[in-house]
Amino acid sequence: MKFRCERDVLVDALTTTGRAVSGRGGALPVLSGIRFALEDDALVMTGSDLDLTISVSLTVAGSTDGSAVIPAKLAADIARALEPGAVQIEAKDNEAIITAGRSEFSVHLAPAEEFPHLAGPTGKSVTLNAAEFSEGLRQVVPAASADDSRPILTGVLLAAEADGLRLVATDSYRLAVRDLPGASVLEEGQEVLVPSRALGELTRALGDAAEVVLVLGERDATFDIGATRLTTRLIEGEFPNYTGLIPTSQPNRLTVGRTPLIDAMRRVKLLAREATPVRLVMQPDRLELIAITQDVGQAHEELDAKYEGSDLTVAFNPEYLLDGLEVTPGDEVTLETVDALKPALIRSAEAVDFLYLLMPVRVS
């Protein structure tokens, strides 16, 4: 295998595919590398850990067809260190020679025949608006759990709704739900569970793309964004009945400017150390934020707000509350509550297609 391409193009492709490379080593050391497959001037670079696979297709100046597996981190580090301009990579015998300007590197290869064969996607494809889908993922993916001991909660539910697609994620402390009207991906009543890690990488890959093509297989999902293809295994199991968690009526309703609340939360959070919650004291025309950490200090800040309901103090994990506020659209948000112990609903005062449910923290 032998080809030439621009350094910046190579760096971008190595960075993208490298995000899928296994960091766990294990039974297949070859998965710590990127597979390069060249045919004429078409180069396909692939990284995988078997659960997640990312491929990038490039047009290069090809000389000799072939394939090789080059260690992912080393290849990326070398490419980034090279001066801008053309880079030549030649793989022969058991090494790759990487040349640019007056620099030359020799890197040992992994056996290309040991890299798993990854079949192409099968199933019906659908084209989605990339910007809308990316925004939906940005809103729900952070609410998924990072705890692998509960794999069901590490996924994002894609569920068919009457007028489109619904995205849902929860880690049992918070719940994010985003509706994408008009996005017909699934059959009526169908739902699939996609790993949040894969969707986080998809969000990066979407960038400023105009559209993304989704192919749902029986056990995997494939997303095509221009020259990049991301394939992930689906999570098997039943997602929790989240609809039963969403309150139908909340007697208390706070309406406040979103940006002022975010800014105030960030300031008050400076005194919320060691998992200390931030208290929200809600009264007519006023919201007070309080953080108290024993032996450290305390912070108070007041905001103008509209409040309808009984005077109430509710405490929240400040990180989780900020996560919800930052992805809620609009200039104003509403916080709807029942009491200090039941889930609170955060919504946009202007948009109805997103909600964020957050469990309060019990404080004395």
**pTM across the whole model:** 0.90
- Cα 314 from Cα 134, distance rounded (Å): 32
Give, for 233, the enclosing helix (H) or strand (E): strand 228-233
Give residue 24's pLDDT.
58
Displacement of CA 113 from its chain's centroid (Å): 32
Q: Where, residue-wise, is CATH 3.10.150.10 in the chain?
A: 2-114, 125-244, 246-358
CATH 3.10.150.10 fits 2-114, yes or no: yes
| Phi-psi domain of 249 (left: phi exceeds 0; alpha: psi -120 through 50; beta: other) | beta
Q: Which CATH superfamily is domain 246-358 in?
A: DNA Polymerase III, subunit A, domain 2 (3.10.150.10)
Using CA atoms, how far apart are residues 322 and 265, in angstroms rounded to an integer? Answer: 7
User: What was the pLDDT predicted at 162?
Assistant: 73
* Distance between CA atoms of residues 99 and 94, nearest Å: 16
pLDDT digits (tens, 9 = 90+) for 204-239: 999 889 999 999 888 999 999 999 999 999 999 999
Long-range contacts of 341-349 (CB under 8 A, 24+ apart): 342/247, 343/175, 343/245, 343/247, 344/250, 344/314, 344/316, 345/246, 345/247, 345/250, 346/321, 348/258, 349/255
Work out the angle between the directed axes of helices 7-18 and 72-81 (0-180°, nearest 10): 150
- For residue 199, the surrounding DSSP H or E stretch is helix 196-206
What is the per-residue pLDDT for 27? 65
Q: What is the mean pLDDT of residues 129-137?
A: 94
Alpha helices in 44-166 (DSSP H): 72-81, 130-140
Give the per-residue pLDDT at 356. Answer: 98
> Is the predicted pLDDT of residue 190 greater than 90, yes or no?
no
CA distance 192 to 157: 6
CA distance 253 to 78: 56
pLDDT value of residue 282: 96
Q: Which two tokens stand for residue 135?
A: 């925004």
pLDDT score for 25: 52
Instruction: Give the model's confidence band at 253: pLDDT under 50 very low, under 70 low, under 90 confident, else very high.
Output: very high
| Least confident range of 81-85, 185-189, 271-275 | 185-189
Q: What pLDDT does residue 140 have?
A: 97
pLDDT at 217: 86
Question: pLDDT category, 124, cuts 50, 70, 90?
Answer: confident
Predicted confidence (pLDDT) at residue 275 exceeds the cutoff of 90 = no
Architecture of domain 125-244: Roll (3.10)
The lowest-confidence range among 14-28, 41-55, 219-233 is 14-28
CB 251 within 8 A of CB 340: no
